Structure 1
Amino acid sequence: MNDEGFLVGTPRLTSLDAFRGFAIAGMLLVNNPGTWDPTVVPRLLMHAEWHGCTFADLIFPFFLFAVGMAMPFSEAKKLEHAVPAWKRIGIAARRAAVLYLLGAFLKSASLNTPVLHFGILQRIGVLYFIVYLLLPLKARWQAAIGVALLFVWWAILAFVNGPGVVPGSFERDMNAAQYLDSFILAPEDKETIVSMIPGISTVLAGLLTGRFLMNHR
């Protein structure tokens, strides 16, 4: 184990590969059910209208969790080859940029016009890079940050007030997250920025799980 708490020479984790494969298979199934007829498609393959949670709603968190879970293993391999810190950060930044630009390209292609809307791949890229910068911290600090961010998320929803906002409300178009996003995003953007706060916690949860599995194999 090196000074950053990562085991050097750690082999691939089969369960992580299986989990990522499961998430990809779930994504393909949810995005391509064969028909969008609600009388035919099983309810669990359709996103909840607003309240509630279905299998479809878990696919993106699964991806975020897997991103974090893979980080310790990827970092251990770089440390094994003595890759300097500045270069490791550069690699992470490049990966994040590629994901963001790929997401923007796919969105632009679907709309037939250049856009930089904040989509799914863009969120994954940004969240990956943010958490990567927290990778050198001790596990207890990573856990503390993850929990603290969840409290921040709760406080925003519970106490932030504004035009059309009901503090503590989770209703569509009445909650603080959408109100704050309106200052940042264009009206046509469907993704949110503020909800990236708990997204960081999800990636951190995966990171901590990966560290635990790597050090207790």
Structure 2
Amino acid sequence: MATVLLIEDELSLGLIVRDSLEVRGFAVLYAADGEEGYALFVAHAPDVVVADVMMPKLDGFSLAARIRQTDPYVPIIFLTARSQTADVVRGFELGGNDYLKKPFSIDELIVRIQALLNRNQTVRPTTPDRLPIGHYHFDYPKQKLAFNGKETPMSHREAELLKRLYEQRNQVLERSVVLLDLWGDDSFFNGRSLDVFITRLRRYLKDDPQVQIVNVRGVGYKLIV
């Protein structure tokens, strides 16, 4: 039985979602604010986190950033009425795996939870901690990129994307595959978010001319080392 940590400050909605998840076989930990939610996360190590973005004491984005300091793998789904591109990009940057806009159906939430749980079984690492990328050293667990003694901290989403590019280095990483893997769907909106992260990775890797991320038109990207 998978354990879901649900953090939602709107009590009526939180109780409805909790009861619906329990009826469908999930164990649910429920908190009404971010601080309480983080305490439950530390105490119980849930399989997936479902968190509202706008919460008292600790908002969903700050909660995700705190969780990612100790666990880079647990799936995080944001619930929000906000859908501005900048908000979505920030949520993914801080470690979110999916974004569900209110109002939403319980069935859709459950499908997304199950998809992330299935995907997470294959994500936990077998790769070494430090990965050589040209003259860079990429520390995936610590989300840092080092070059000539200088370290660049990375967001969770940046590190996840670079890891997948590294695993497919000198081969094409299909755009649709990475969108489904990291963003949950390959919509135009998520595609724009992916473009933002690719631009950032290119900037991080610009000091070694032997390392490039190139577009493969209509297909995806290739990390050339």
TM (norm. structure 1) is: 0.28
Greater radius of gyration (CA): 1
User: Which of structures 1 and 2 has the larger relative contact order (alpha carbons within 8 angstroms, sep 6+)?
Assistant: 1
Instruction: Report which of the two has the higher share of helix.
Output: 1
Instruction: Report which of the two has the higher share of strand.
Output: 2
